[in-house]
A and B are shown apart, each in its own frame.
Chain A
Amino acid sequence: MRFSVIAGIVFIASLTPSLSNAVEYDDAIIVTASRLDKDIQSQPATITVINAEDIQNSTASNLPDLLSLEAGINTRHFFGGNSARPAVDIRGFGLTGTQNTLILLDGRRLNDIDLSPVDFNAIPLHNIARIEITRGSGGVLYGDGAVGGTINIITKTPGKTGTTGNVAVFTGSYENYGINANVSHVQGAFSFNIAASSEVSDAYRDNNEYREDVLQGDFRYTRDDGEIYLKFGADQQHLNFPGVRSILTATGINQYKTDRRGATTPRDYAERDGYYTTAGVSRYLGDSTELIVDVGYRNKMTESFFDDYVTDAFDVRNYRDVYLNTWSITPRINSELNLLGVPGTLNIGIDYYDSDYEQERSLIKSTSNTPVHRVNIDQERISVYARHLFRPSPRTRINVGARWQRIATDARDSYDATAPGAAFGAEKPDNNEQQHLQAYELGIAHDVTNETTVYANVNQAFRVASIDEIYSEFAAAFVYLNPQTSRGIDIGVKFRNQHTKIQAAAYYMSLKNELHFDITQNSGFGANVNLDPTKRYGFELTADHQLNKQLGLRFNYALTRSRFREGILAGNDVPAVPGHTASLTALWQIMPRLDLSATANYVGSRFLDNDQTNDFYKKVPAMTTVDVKLTGKWASWKVSGLVNNLFDKKYYDYGIRSTSVQRYNVYPLPERNALVTISKGF
């Protein structure tokens, strides 16, 4: 299991004797250490930590909604109003946000090597201990895809002796029902935590039914000098795709107004079965060095069907089976090190990921035994990285890091011209490719006062084409696009005292060979391309203030500019990126056992997807939604009522234009809806 940026740093910081000391206070011995959050915040990077309490207090009922409240994070829902597969985008990458935002589960990559979005619902909110959001490059510690930012989701680990747990049932609008539970048990050095959840929903749109079952487990043997652990998880999801709502100006057709909840693709669906396991050992070698070695395996099987709604002339029905297996080995060392008399901490490690991908494309499910195409792509990624955090003075930290990564891809295709549905196809010749990439970072943070830190960092990150960007059904061969590279600079200031936390950052990123799907290519079938050079720059502000014991406020704002630098599109905005986003959350403890939380979330207007020319008459409109949650506690019972979209706004967060006619398609999101949850702890 890979540590996060933060976990790694803080872990080493924890080895520093000065951070842990025993002091005499009154007549007790109090052993103190700085909380993890503080060390995370002291790094020369723009970092936000959401802990379990924040999650509990939030109006968000799922992970993407929670993330979308944070500065500079934008979500887009392609598959209806549920939270199953939205794209999460940090710092304005638009449609490729998922590929430029690295999602980690306990430090291990969740982004697959294909284009499929991360299934956030496979990570139950109630089993999350904290979320560490690092904006900007995480290329040194994580490699490929950590361009716009990194989101590391840390699941709960068993802690307290004895047996504890929680059971919750919930029901909400659109026939939404579910149950989740978790139990932890600690007996001496042995412990385990098991979490499970099950949810069904008809969802807002027609043919958007959703079912998901999730099981996660964590078994550990923990001692002060290290631990041995085994983590596992399994999830099963069924999701129907409702498709788009079309608006054609010329004909006056406007499905968004006349039937916004209807489905265009009433027979499309996807089934997904996945599981993972990670086994590892962490061992302290002396007081200052920790060795961590872990091995992981992840399996995903996806079945999907996209029916033919377009024409009777050609049968373009498409049934796909996808199998993806990924092995990973990630040994690493975190060590406290004095170099030339300067104290510091060193992270060095090797990441090895080996993925086998197989896709079978058939006409319909009943003919899946004789697929038209069988595509096999093996990808091996090996990286070496090192990062050293110096502390030349108690108030100053300097960070230097580099990563070298090799990616070897071997692609094969077999084509059966006699298979049902085979037409106009051809077998792509075998092809393989090796790519060598580097990432680096250099950062400095200085504590101007005990409460204020200024920081800056420069970095380089990269992204290689995913399997779906290498393989295109309409291309004659596998295409290896140039890797996308980015160079960036972050400058920020952090302020923190007992009642207030403020973080403000400005950044600039210059990208070359940005990977993008261009629908205008290939006679309108589209193709993946390297875009002309682009840039991102912006400003992010996060402010928390506790007015008094009863009332706390949290405000986020982001200005995001995502533009083409060169070529015929120079000066144009990258589509699907809002220029302004903001959120304001208030948490009011009305009484000791009654809390009210309310969130207003603003997302500014942005160009429709596919509108690189920025000349379409319609944009995705700006929208403000308000969510309110009331929570009552009674002994170990808790009841909460949540109303999303309180003012019943009709909106969508993703739309795509046609380049040939005055038409655009949108994915409507739910109107006012509610969710009631009852939970009992034990």
Chain B
Amino acid sequence: MRYFIGISVLIHVIVIMAFTESPFVIYNDDPPLQITLIAAKGDARQDELATSKAVDAALERISATDIPAPVRPAVKPAVKSRPRQDNNNLPLAPEHKTPETAVARKSPKEAALTDSENPAVTGPAGAREQDRQKGVIASNSTGENRAQTLRKLLYTALEPHFYYPRLARRNGWQGLVQLGMTIKDSGQLSDIHLLKTSGYPLLDNAALNSIGKIRYLPDAVRWIKEHHFDMVVHVKYQLSDF
């Protein structure tokens, strides 16, 4: 009898625990997979940022000075709740080289509206759009198309250089790496840096090394003439069963 009472108590404790919502539960859902292109001032790049929190803080500093109504950047994990289709509309947000040109940072949806559906915006974004209309960027392209085109250029160039680190595969390591980089108006890739670790240094280094293999993106020149772009690239390493 004592035995069964003990088991009964145990089962009840376990069941009660299972029903009770923990105040400490953190749901670590992966953020949606995305590549986000963000235009930023040349002197405001986040060279040493290793976490998205640091990126946020730095970008907040920029917004305080450069943007009347700053919007959180897409690197913030909170964007995970956005529907995936929103991410597909991420714009190219080129930056004018003049110091007074503002940083174009906005939520993807808002940015998409700005670039492709509502060109008559005022302020920095409007100035940017004016530049665009002047032919800085291909004249008949929508923001979405431009984003897709440049992204495809980048992916096509990068694809042969990505690999799954052998030791990571052997150990079953998977994760999402967020990298920051700049495409200069000359097509040169620079300032490739880690924004958010996957948790595994080996995967982080593999992503950095892969992107580091590309020094120049010649076809990008005609798309980003007289601009440079700070980009966030998401690289997901995942092992498949099939």
Instruction: Give Cα distance in the complex from A634 to B14, angstroms.
Output: 9
How far, in Å, is A127 (CB) from chain B's closest CB?
A: 14
Which residues of chain A come closer than 8 Å to B201, judged between CB atoms?
Answer: 161, 186, 188-189, 222
Instruction: Report Cα–Cα, A157/B172, bound state, in Å.
Output: 10
Contact A28 B164 (CB under 8 A): no
Give per-residue flags for B200-220: 1 if the beta carbon is below 8 A from chain A beta carbons, else 0: 111001100110000000000
Residues of chain B within 8 A (CB-CB) of A34 are 239-242
Given known pairs A26-B87, A32-B164, A38-B241, the reply for A160 and B200 (CB within 8 Å) is yes
**A-facing residues in B149-164 (Cβ within 8 Å):** 151-152, 155, 158-164
B166 touches A14 (CB 8 A): yes
User: Does B44 belong to the interface (CB within 8 Å)?
Assistant: no
Contact between chains at A29 and B236 (CB < 8 Å): yes
Residue of B3, B10, B20, B234 with highest tally of chain A CB at under 10 A: B10
Whether a CB of chain B sits under 8 angstroms from the CB of A650 is no
Query: Are B18's CB and A593's CB within 8 A?
Result: yes
Q: Which chain B residues border A223 with CB–CB below 8 Å?
A: 202, 205
Kindly report which residue of chain B lies nearest to residue A630, judged by CB atoms.
Answer: B14
Please tell me if A36 contacts chain B, counting CB pairs below 8 Å. Answer: yes
- The verdict on A159 contacting B200 (CB below 8 Å), with A33-B239, A641-B10 known, is yes
Q: How far is the CA of A17 from the CA of B240 in the complex (A)?
A: 15
Residue of B nearest to A501 (CB): B241
Does B22 sit at the interface, judged by CB under 8 A?
Answer: yes
Q: Which of A22, A23, A594, A635 contacts B22 (CB 8 A)?
A: A635
A360 to B2, CA, bound (A): 49
Q: Is the beta-carbon distance between A36 and B18 smaller than 8 angstroms? A: no
Which residues 1-34 of B sit at the A interface, judged by CB distance below 8 A? 3, 6-7, 10-11, 13-15, 17-20, 22-25, 32-34
Chain A residue nearest in CB terms to B88? A27
A31 pairs with B35, CB closer than 8 A = no
Q: Which residues of B contact A290 (CB under 8 A)?
A: 166
Distance to closest chain B CB from A205 (angstroms): 19
Instruction: Annotate A146-158 by CB proximity to B: 1 below 8 A, 0 otherwise.
Output: 0000000000010
Contacts of B84 in A (CB 8 A): 26
Partner pick for B235 among A29, A51, A162, A592, CB 8 A cutoff: A29
- A662 within 8 A of partner (CB): no
Is residue A267 contacting chain B, with contact meaning CB distance below 8 A?
no
* Partner pick for B155 among A19, A24, A498, A641, CB 8 A cutoff: A24
Beta-carbon contact of B155 and A632 below 8 Å: no
Minimum C-beta distance from B173 to chain A (A): 5
Cβ < 8 Å to B, chain A residues 208-231: 222-224, 227
A33: B residues at CB distance < 8 A: 164, 169, 239-240
Flag whether A549 is at the interface (Cβ < 8 A): no
Query: In the complex, what residue of chain B is closest to A164 when comparing beta carbons?
Result: B199
Known contacts: A34-B239, A161-B201. The answer to whether A639 contacts B17 by CB under 8 A is yes
Closest to B23 in A: A635
What is the CB-to-nearest-CB distance from B214 to chain A, in angstroms, rounded to a whole number?
A: 12
Assess whether A222 is in contact with B167, with CB atoms less than 8 Å apart: yes
Residues of chain B within 8 A (CB-CB) of A11 are: 166, 170
Q: A32-B239, A222-B202 are in contact. Are A634 and B18 (CB under 8 A)?
A: yes
Q: Are A27 and B90 in contact (CB under 8 A)?
A: yes
- Asked if A244 CB lies within 8 Å of chain B CBs, one says no
Instruction: Tell me whether B18 and A591 are in contact (CB under 8 A).
Output: yes
Q: Is B238 an interface residue (CB 8 A)?
A: yes
A263 sits at the interface (CB 8 A): no
Q: Decide if A21 is an interface residue (CB 8 Å cutoff).
A: yes
Most B C-beta atoms less than 10 A away, residue of A22, A51, A498, A592: A22
Bound-state Cα–Cα, A223 to B166, Å: 10
Are A31 and B238 in contact (CB-based, < 8 A)? yes
Q: Which residues of A contact B34 (CB under 8 A)?
A: 26-28
CB of A660 closer than 8 Å to a CB of B: no
Contact A28 B234, CB 8 Å, known A161-B197, A498-B242, A634-B17: yes
Residue of B nearest to A290 (CB): B166
Interface: B42 (CB within 8 A): no
Q: CB-nearest residue of chain A relative to B25? A: A635
A643 within 8 A of B: yes
Complex interface residues of chain A between 617 and 658 (CB less than 8 A to chain B): 630-637, 639-641, 643
**Is B70 interfacial (CB-CB < 8 Å)?**
no
CB-defined contacts of B160 to chain A, threshold 8 Å? 22
The one of A23, A282, A672, A674 that contacts B6, using a Cβ cutoff of 8 Å: A674
A284-B166 contact given A29-B236, A38-B241, A222-B201, CB 8 Å threshold: yes
Q: A35-B241, A636-B24 are in contact. Are A20 and B7 (CB under 8 A)?
A: no
| A291 at interface by CB-CB < 8 Å | no
Residues of B within 8 A of A674 (CB): 3, 6-7
Is there an interface contact between A26 and B166, defined as CB atoms closer than 8 Å? no
Q: Closest residue of chain A to B9, judged by CB?
A: A641
A38 touches B35 (CB 8 A): no
How many positions in chain B have a CB within 8 Å of any CB in the partner chain?
61
Chain B residues with Cβ below 8 Å from A672 are 3
Q: Contact check, A594 vs B164: say whether CB atoms are below 8 A apart.
A: no
A15 x B238 contact (CB < 8 A): no
B242-A38 in contact (CB<8A): yes
Tell whether B171 is near chain A: CB-to-CB under 8 Å.
Answer: yes
On whether the beta carbons of A7 and B170 are closer than 8 Å, the reply is yes
Q: Are A634 and B171 in contact (CB under 8 A)?
A: no
Q: A31-B164, A631-B14, A634-B18 are in contact. Are A224 and B202 (CB under 8 A)?
A: yes
Q: Which residues of A contact B166 (CB under 8 A)?
A: 11, 14-15, 224, 284, 290
Question: Contact partner of B11 among A7, A17, A641, CB < 8 A?
Answer: A641
**A442 in the interface, Cβ–Cβ < 8 Å?**
no
Chain A residue with the shortest CB-CB distance to B241: A35
Complex: A441 Cα to B3 Cα, angstroms: 53
Note all chain B residues with C-beta closer than 8 A to A284.
166
| Chain B residues, CB < 8 A from A23 | 159
Q: Does B75 contact A (CB under 8 A)?
A: no
Contact across chains for A22 and B240 when beta carbons are under 8 A apart: no
Residues B169 and A632 in contact, CB atoms below 8 Å apart: no
Which residues does chain B contribute within 8 Å of A15, judged by CB atoms? 166
- Pair B242/A31 contact, Cβ less than 8 Å: no
Task: Quote the shortest CB–CB distance from B29 to chain A (angstroms).
Answer: 14
Q: In chain A, what residue has the closest Cβ to B236?
A: A30
Query: Which B residues are in CB contact (< 8 Å) with A129?
Result: 171-172
> A633 — which chain B residues lie within 8 A by C-beta?
17-18
- Looking at B167, B199, B205, B209, the one whose CB has the most chain A CB atoms below 10 A away is B167
Residues of B within 8 A of A161 (CB): 197, 199-201
Does B88 contact A637, Cβ atoms closer than 8 Å?
Answer: no
Which of B15, B17, B25, B35 is A29 in contact with, Cβ under 8 Å? B35
| Chain B contacts for A489, CB-based, 8 A | none
Residue of A nearest to B10 (CB): A641
Residues on the B chain within 8 Å of A636, using CB: 24
CB < 8 Å neighbour of B159 from A22, A51, A590, A643:
A22
What's the minimum C-beta distance from B73 to chain A, rounded to whole angstroms? 15
Selected A-B contacts with CB under 8 Å, 20 pairs: A10-B170, A14-B164, A17-B163, A21-B159, A28-B33, A28-B234, A28-B235, A31-B238, A32-B237, A32-B240, A34-B242, A35-B239, A186-B200, A186-B201, A284-B166, A593-B17, A634-B17, A635-B23, A639-B10, A641-B14
Chain A to chain B: the 4 pairs with minimum beta-carbon distance, closest first = A28-B33, A22-B162, A632-B14, A594-B18
Given contacts A31-B237, A32-B237, 4 further A-B contacts (CB under 8 A): A27-B33, A33-B240, A35-B172, A222-B202
